[in-house]
A = this chain, B = another copy of it.
């Protein structure tokens, strides 16, 4: 059993972390912080946790957090980088579910997040927590930058192709659709039911913060220059991301289906579907699974990859728990074996 702390657990990522950790056999939930909800029982805010989580929200307390083996940050961007150095120094593992440590280049980070980075050194040390790519580094990391939701779905979809230089990496397109929970639980007109249901729209087409993160992740895998057009869309549902990826094959002879099956054969949370499949977001609802299918419409040289995840699980809390499992030597599926809820 390890002691776990959560900083900032009032949002959807927080409640999902709580759902997963409360059922995790190796975890003792020790502390969950929220300045605004100090004193409130977690289960009063999230009645689904009644009988499962007895904690109350408390104001962040460094001594308490230092008594944990690992601390998750489910905070807005810009918080983790102010607290992580002290925790890491004290020997506490840190997993940041926000974006503070995702982009290696501090200048680029500042460009997209609009503030100076508080600890550029730690930024360099942080490990990008995508187990399918960085498993070994995660194992010994002190600080994990948990990947963004879109970046998870998009990178897992492109990786086998990029790693093998089978596509023209200069003209990649990622058309991604997300459920509304990706926008968080803040009171916001744009995500009211009456604004976001029975509606579909693209947003942030000129530039979304996940663009540099995805580009960085892909560029590491290839010496070809990566050119990516990324268009996110808001979809009238709660959970799920569907990434539709387009790439031009440069090697016509590759057996794409077999390539993906080989690449992900040992990955417990990536499921390559049979040839011809169309993955549905609901088939991963509540689970830490990414399902992928590949198509070559009309036998042409354009490859269409379909990649689906639950944005709150594989795209956030689940992947964070997966990272924790690796860091502490638990089996990778530990606490992540729940079956998706369908319908």
Q: Which B residues touch A205, using CB under 8 A? A: 278, 295, 297, 304, 306
Q: Are A278 and B203 in contact (CB under 8 A)?
A: yes
CA distance A164 to B29 in the complex (A): 41
Which among B19, B181, B271, B278 is the interface contact of A50 at CB below 8 angstroms?
B271
A134 at the interface (CB under 8 A from B): no
A238 at the interface (CB under 8 A from B): yes
Which among B201, B238, B278, B341 is the interface contact of A48 at CB below 8 angstroms?
B341
* Chain B binder among A93-101, A116-124, A143-151, A191-199: A191-199
A329 at the interface (CB under 8 A from B): no
Q: Which B residues touch A62, using CB under 8 A? A: none
Q: Are A191 and B188 in contact (CB under 8 A)?
A: no
CA distance A35 to B175 in the complex (A): 39
CA distance A86 to B196 in the complex (A): 39
CA distance A199 to B185 in the complex (A): 16
Shortest CB–CB separation between residue A129 and chain B, in angstroms?
A: 23
A171 at the interface (CB under 8 A from B): yes
Which among B282, B300, B338 is the interface contact of A227 at CB below 8 angstroms?
B300
Mark each residue of chain A from 80 to 107: 1 if its CB lies under 8 Å from any CB of chain B, else 0. 0000000000000000000000000000
CB-CB contacts below 8 Å: A1-29 with B: 12, 15, 19, 22-23
Count residues on chain A whose CB falls below 8 Å from chain B CBs: 85
CA distance A199 to B342 in the complex (A): 10
Q: Which B residues touch A233, using CB under 8 A? A: 177, 242, 244
Which among B193, B199, B242 is the interface contact of A180 at CB below 8 angstroms?
B193
Which among B12, B51, B181, B197 is the interface contact of A271 at CB below 8 angstroms?
B51
Q: Which B residues touch A302, using CB under 8 A? A: 171, 173, 229
Shortest CB–CB separation between residue A114 and chain B, in angstroms?
A: 17
Q: Are A235 and B295 in contact (CB under 8 A)?
A: no
CB-CB contacts below 8 Å: A174-212 with B: 175, 177, 179-181, 185-189, 191-203, 205-207
Mark each residue of chain A from 224 to 239: 1 if its CB lies under 8 Å from any CB of chain B, else 0. 0001011101011111
A285 at the interface (CB under 8 A from B): yes
Q: Are B338 and A338 in contact (CB under 8 A)?
A: yes
Q: Are B286 and A341 in contact (CB under 8 A)?
A: yes
CA distance A202 to B304 in the complex (A): 11
Q: Are B278 and A198 in contact (CB under 8 A)?
A: no
Among residues of B, the one whose C-beta sits closest to the C-beta of A196 is B193
Given contacts A202-B278, A231-B304, 11 further A-B contacts (CB under 8 A): A22-B339, A177-B235, A191-B194, A193-B193, A193-B197, A197-B238, A200-B242, A202-B242, A202-B306, A206-B297, A207-B297
Q: List 28 A-B contacts (CB under 8 A).
A: A12-B343, A23-B338, A48-B340, A49-B339, A50-B283, A173-B173, A173-B302, A175-B175, A177-B177, A180-B194, A181-B194, A191-B192, A193-B193, A193-B236, A198-B282, A198-B285, A201-B278, A201-B279, A202-B278, A202-B306, A203-B278, A206-B298, A207-B297, A229-B300, A229-B302, A233-B242, A235-B235, A338-B338
